[in-house]
Protein backbone atom coordinates (compact mmCIF):
# COMPACT_ATOMS: atom_id res chain seq x y z
CA UNK A 1 0.00 0.00 0.00
CA UNK A 2 1.26 3.48 -0.78
CA UNK A 3 0.15 6.85 0.53
CA UNK A 4 1.04 10.06 -1.29
CA UNK A 5 0.69 13.44 0.40
CA UNK A 6 0.82 16.82 -1.30
CA UNK A 7 2.46 19.13 1.23
CA UNK A 8 2.44 22.94 0.74
CA UNK A 9 5.83 23.89 2.27
CA UNK A 10 9.31 22.46 2.76
CA UNK A 11 9.09 22.95 6.56
CA UNK A 12 6.00 20.76 6.67
CA UNK A 13 7.80 18.12 4.61
CA UNK A 14 10.65 18.16 7.14
CA UNK A 15 8.16 17.65 9.96
CA UNK A 16 6.52 14.76 8.06
CA UNK A 17 9.84 13.04 7.32
CA UNK A 18 10.99 13.40 10.95
CA UNK A 19 7.68 12.05 12.22
CA UNK A 20 7.81 9.06 9.87
CA UNK A 21 11.38 8.31 10.97
CA UNK A 22 10.25 8.30 14.61
CA UNK A 23 7.79 5.48 13.90
CA UNK A 24 10.37 3.37 12.08
CA UNK A 25 10.40 4.47 8.45
CA UNK A 26 13.71 5.11 6.73
CA UNK A 27 14.29 8.00 4.30
CA UNK A 28 14.84 5.35 1.62
CA UNK A 29 11.20 4.29 2.09
CA UNK A 30 10.03 7.69 0.81
CA UNK A 31 9.93 9.46 -2.52
CA UNK A 32 9.95 13.25 -2.27
CA UNK A 33 9.33 15.31 -5.39
CA UNK A 34 8.80 19.06 -5.73
CA UNK A 35 5.92 19.71 -8.12
CA UNK A 36 7.14 23.24 -8.84
CA UNK A 37 10.51 22.14 -10.21
CA UNK A 38 9.56 20.61 -13.51
CA UNK A 39 12.56 19.76 -15.62
CA UNK A 40 12.63 19.17 -19.35
CA UNK A 41 15.09 16.86 -21.02
CA UNK A 42 15.61 16.33 -24.70
CA UNK A 43 17.25 12.90 -24.28
CA UNK A 44 16.79 10.16 -21.66
CA UNK A 45 20.52 10.22 -20.95
CA UNK A 46 20.22 13.82 -19.71
CA UNK A 47 17.50 12.82 -17.24
CA UNK A 48 19.51 9.87 -15.94
CA UNK A 49 22.50 12.13 -15.25
CA UNK A 50 20.47 14.48 -13.05
CA UNK A 51 20.59 13.88 -9.30
CA UNK A 52 16.96 14.99 -9.03
CA UNK A 53 15.73 12.43 -11.58
CA UNK A 54 13.05 10.16 -10.17
CA UNK A 55 11.79 7.22 -12.18
CA UNK A 56 8.10 7.57 -12.87
CA UNK A 57 5.63 4.75 -13.14
CA UNK A 58 5.32 4.77 -16.89
CA UNK A 59 5.10 1.80 -19.20
CA UNK A 60 7.86 2.67 -21.66
CA UNK A 61 11.51 2.32 -20.70
CA UNK A 62 12.48 5.80 -21.89
CA UNK A 63 9.25 7.63 -21.06
CA UNK A 64 10.32 10.35 -18.66
CA UNK A 65 8.34 13.01 -16.88
CA UNK A 66 7.55 14.52 -13.53
CA UNK A 67 6.69 12.14 -10.70
CA UNK A 68 3.32 13.89 -10.28
CA UNK A 69 2.28 12.90 -13.81
CA UNK A 70 2.16 9.26 -12.73
CA UNK A 71 -0.16 9.86 -9.77
CA UNK A 72 -3.81 9.23 -10.62
CA UNK A 73 -6.35 11.43 -8.88
CA UNK A 74 -3.95 14.21 -7.94
CA UNK A 75 -5.92 17.47 -7.88
CA UNK A 76 -3.41 20.13 -6.83
CA UNK A 77 -0.62 21.50 -9.01
CA UNK A 78 1.62 23.03 -6.33
CA UNK A 79 3.54 21.70 -3.38
CA UNK A 80 5.83 18.81 -2.61
CA UNK A 81 4.81 15.18 -2.98
CA UNK A 82 5.83 12.68 -0.33
CA UNK A 83 5.11 9.05 -1.20
CA UNK A 84 5.46 6.32 1.43
CA UNK A 85 5.06 2.60 0.93
CA UNK A 86 3.55 1.18 4.10
CA UNK A 87 2.08 -2.09 5.33
CA UNK A 88 -1.72 -2.04 5.38
CA UNK A 89 -1.86 -2.11 9.20
CA UNK A 90 0.14 1.19 9.37
CA UNK A 91 -2.00 3.07 6.83
CA UNK A 92 -4.12 4.93 9.41
CA UNK A 93 -1.07 5.97 11.43
CA UNK A 94 0.78 7.29 8.38
CA UNK A 95 -2.35 9.08 7.12
CA UNK A 96 -2.78 10.78 10.53
CA UNK A 97 0.85 11.92 10.51
CA UNK A 98 0.41 13.30 6.99
CA UNK A 99 -2.70 15.20 8.07
CA UNK A 100 -0.93 16.58 11.17
CA UNK A 101 1.95 17.69 8.93
CA UNK A 102 -0.44 19.85 6.90
CA UNK A 103 -1.09 17.69 3.85
CA UNK A 104 -3.33 19.50 1.39
CA UNK A 105 -4.20 16.21 -0.29
CA UNK A 106 -3.63 12.51 0.46
CA UNK A 107 -3.97 9.80 -2.17
CA UNK A 108 -3.93 6.07 -1.50
CA UNK A 109 -2.96 3.64 -4.22
**Domains parsed from the chain with CATH numbers:** 2-108 (3.30.70)
Q: What separation in angstroms does the CA of 53 have from each of 39, 45, 68, 81?
A: 9, 11, 13, 14
Percent of the chain having pLDDT more than 90?
47
User: Is the pTM above the cut of 0.85?
Assistant: no
| Residue of higher predicted confidence among 18 and 48 | 18
Angle of the 91-100 helix axis to the 10-22 helix axis, nearest 10: 150
| Residue of higher predicted confidence among 35 and 4 | 4
Segment (H or E) for 107:
strand 105-108
pLDDT digits 0-9 by tens, 31-77: 888 876 555 656 656 655 554 444 445 445 555 556 666 677 778 77
User: Hey, how many other C-beta atoms are within 10 angstroms of the C-beta on 80?
Assistant: 19
Amino acid sequence: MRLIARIPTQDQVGFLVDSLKKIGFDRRDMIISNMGEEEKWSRPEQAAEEVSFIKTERDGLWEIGAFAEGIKGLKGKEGILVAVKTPKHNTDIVRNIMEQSGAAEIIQD
